[in-house]
Amino acid sequence: MGVAIPVMHYTGMAAASFAPSSTTVDLTHAVSISMLGAAGIAAVTFIVLGLALLTSWMDRRFAAKSLELQEQRLQRSEAFLAEAQSISHTGSFSWRPSTGEIIWSDEAFRIFQYDRTTKPTVELILQRVHPEDRALVKEAIERASQDGNDFEHEYRLVMLDGAVRDVHVVAHAERNESGEREFVGAVMDVTGRKRAEEALRRSEGYLAEAQRLTHTGSWARSILTGELIHSSEEHSRLYGFDPDRKVPSREEFNQRIHSEDRPRVIELAARADREGKDFEAHFRIVLPDGTTNYVYEVAHPVFTPSGEVREFVGVVTDVSERKRAEEERERLREAQTELAHINRVSTMES
């Protein structure tokens, strides 16, 4: 603005032309500029220029401050992301197949146990892969490089100390600014999860075997729906159901209870639901082939934090052998008692 004003002024002056005239000029209405007026005009001009400069300077300061705040927020976000990756053992990466360039986050370096100054490459990754998984991983990398499709797979790593880790890799294909294909993804150390799953499978196997040997099945029933939400394999077998099919309905289980025992057992369970108390019962089960077995059932309520009954869990044990042994002993006692009575009568008669 400061430059434009004098340029326009002098342009106007250069465009003006003056011709001599014999007529006396009437200066009664002319504006005369005194030294004070000139000084005022100069002062106002400098004030306007100063305000413009001040505004520009403040705008730059505000812009710099805003940029600084954005950088602080970015650094804070990066710190939070790095901490989250460290806690969850999840590293991020990007991979550009056309150039082979790979970028790892700090957690990805820790998972593969490479120094932060190391330049990641496919060859370095394959060096860490378990020998039994290396061919599959190499094939997955080559296929992703050629097809450009998203990929996901799990494989094992062998660390320098010989320890074996399980990792789960997920990657999404996208195009960058230059149109090149690039994969962005995450690598997760799932060793703890895999070990826990293996331990859980072993425990479930041991429990299933123990239930099979002791002829004891476990179950759980929801109070809200009244239906079974869990029936162990042995529990289903005790009632004559296929353990590989879905959990039968409660009504299907009730129909397997002997008709003479069914009303009593149903009433015991209903009272336990209302009162939220343990219950136990001896009753008979009639299998599809007509076999009658004796079982003993014990159940316990599970409460919500607010004190309401959420579900019942229980076990059912096949006590048929014990029951039949007791019945056999009872028959023997009755036979012995009858024989003793006959002997006494014979003795008295003789």
Three-state SS sequence of the chain: CCCHHHHHHHHHHHHCCCCCCCCCCCCCCCCCCCHHHHHHHHHHHHHHHHHHHHHHHHHHHHHHHHHHHHHHHHHHHHHHHHHHHHHHCEEEEEEECCCCEEEECHHHHHHHCCCCCCCCCHHHHHHHECCCCHHHHHHHHHHHHHHCCCEEEEEEEECCCCCEEEEEEEEEEEECCCCCEEEEEEEEECHHHHHHHHHHHHHHHHHHHHHHHHCEEEEEEECCCCCEEEECHHHHHHCCCCCCCCCCCHHHHHHCECCCCHHHHHHHHHHHHHHCCCEEEEEEEECCCCCEEEEEEEEEEEECCCCCEEEEEEEEEECHHHHHHHHHHHHHHHHHHHHHHHHHHHHHHC
pLDDT at 148: 84
pLDDT truncated to tens, each residue of the chain (350 aa)?
Answer: 778 887 887 787 777 776 776 666 666 665 566 677 678 778 888 888 888 888 888 888 888 887 777 777 767 766 776 677 778 789 999 999 888 899 999 999 999 999 988 999 999 999 999 999 999 999 998 898 888 889 898 999 999 899 999 999 999 998 877 778 889 999 999 998 889 888 888 988 888 898 889 999 999 999 989 999 999 999 999 999 998 888 889 999 999 999 999 999 999 999 999 999 999 999 999 999 999 999 999 999 999 988 899 999 999 999 998 888 887 888 888 777 777 767 776 777 66
pLDDT at 3: 82
Of 121, 156, 151, the residue nearest 139 (C-alpha): 151
- The span from the CA of 171 to the CA of 264, in Å, is 59
Half-sphere exposure of 56 (CA within 13 A, CB side): 6
- The span from the CA of 85 to the CA of 93, in Å, is 12
Query: Which token pair is 321?
Result: 């052998």
Four-way CATH pick for 212-328: 3.10.20.30, 3.20.20.70, 3.30.450.20, 3.30.70.120 = 3.30.450.20
- The span from the CA of 180 to the CA of 97, in Å, is 9
Cβ-Cβ contacts under 8 Å for 214 (sequence gap 6 or more): 317
pLDDT at 58: 84
pLDDT at 28: 61
Of 300, 316, 282, the residue nearest 223 (C-alpha): 300
Supply the CATH classification number for the domain 85-189: 3.30.450.20
pLDDT at 281: 94
Alpha-carbon Rg for the chain, nearest whole angstrom, is: 45
CB 282 within 8 A of CB 295: yes
pLDDT at 43: 84
Q: ∠66-72-76 over CA atoms, to 5°?
A: 145
Cβ-Cβ contacts under 8 Å for 207 (sequence gap 6 or more): 232
Cα–Cα distances in Å, from 298 out to 93, 95, 135, 213, 272? 54, 58, 53, 18, 11
Bridge partners (DSSP) listed for residue 204: none
Give the predicted TM-score (pTM) of the model. 0.54
- The span from the CA of 114 to the CA of 269, in Å, is 61
Domain-wise residue ranges, the chain: 85-189, 212-328
CB 252 within 8 A of CB 302: no
Asked if 85-189 and 212-328 have one fold, the answer is yes
**Number of C-beta neighbours around residue 241 at 10 A:** 20
